[in-house]
Amino acid sequence: MLSCARKKNIILATAESCTGGLVISALTEISGSSDVVTQGFITYSNQAKTANLSVPEKTITNHGAVSIETACTMAKGAVKNSAATIAVSVTGIAGPHGGTAEKPVGLVHMAVFNRKNSQIIHQAHRFGNLGRNKVREASVIAALNLLLLSIDSDAP
């Protein structure tokens, strides 16, 4: 993934809530990642999402922190507030508590925003109540796959 980003002159950032930095950690685990990874935003609280990623309070109030709207705005905010070309965001309910009938434990929204073409890709996953660690691990894998999809689809 990083070699493909390097070839296309793509700079990456992450905007994470429920994963708490696991996505950026996975990216920076790779030697030479500093060529293409600029930064990660860990925005666990709603206030952090607003302050660091420019997510309007109204978006969180109207749609919730775990929503397509918040995930997309987080990805856009990570690009806006960094040198990144592409950013991936993750926001969800890892559990074991916090779920509702409408938004159960294991619901995770993620998005990728591409500065070059203003394309946004969103995915919602319902991993189920697998346990906190498994939901977070599944979220990291899905986020990296979504990021790879965006890098692959980026025009050369």
- 3-state SS, the chain, equals CHHHHHHCCCCEEEEECCCCCHHHHHHHCCCCHHHCEEEEEECCCHHHHHHHHCCCHHHHHHHCCCCHHHHHHHHHHHHHCCCCCEEEEEEECCCCCCCCCCCCCCEEEEEEEECCCCEEEEEEEECCCCCHHHHHHHHHHHHHHHHHHHHHHCCC
Q: What's residue 18's pLDDT? A: 98
Given a cut of 80, whether residue 156 has pLDDT beyond it is no
Give the up-direction half-sphere exposure of residue 109: CA atoms within 13 A in the CB hemisphere.
18
Average pLDDT over residues 87-93: 98
Residue among 37, 38, 41, 46 at smallest CA distance from 16: 41
At how many degrees (to 10) do helices 68-80 and 46-53 cross? 40
Q: What's residue 117's pLDDT? A: 94
- Give the count of domains, the chain: 1
Measure the CA angle with vertex 15, ends 23 and 127; round to 5°: 60
CATH number at residue 31: 3.90.950.20
pTM of structure: 0.97
Average pLDDT over residues 16-42: 97
Given a cut of 90, whether residue 153 has pLDDT beyond it is no
60-73 pLDDT per residue, tens: 999 999 999 999 99
Given a cut of 80, whether residue 74 has pLDDT beyond it is yes
Name the residue range of residue 43's domain.
2-153
107-144 pLDDT per residue, tens: 999 999 999 999 999 999 999 999 999 999 999 999 99
Question: Which pair of structure tokens corresponds to residue 122?
Answer: 């969103």
Residues of the chain with pLDDT > 90, as a percent, come to: 96
**41 contacts 15 by C-beta, under 8 angstroms:** yes
Q: What's residue 154's pLDDT? A: 77
What are the two backbone dihedrals, phi and then psi, of residue 139, each rounded to the nearest 5 degrees?
-65, -40
Given a cut of 90, whether residue 155 has pLDDT beyond it is no
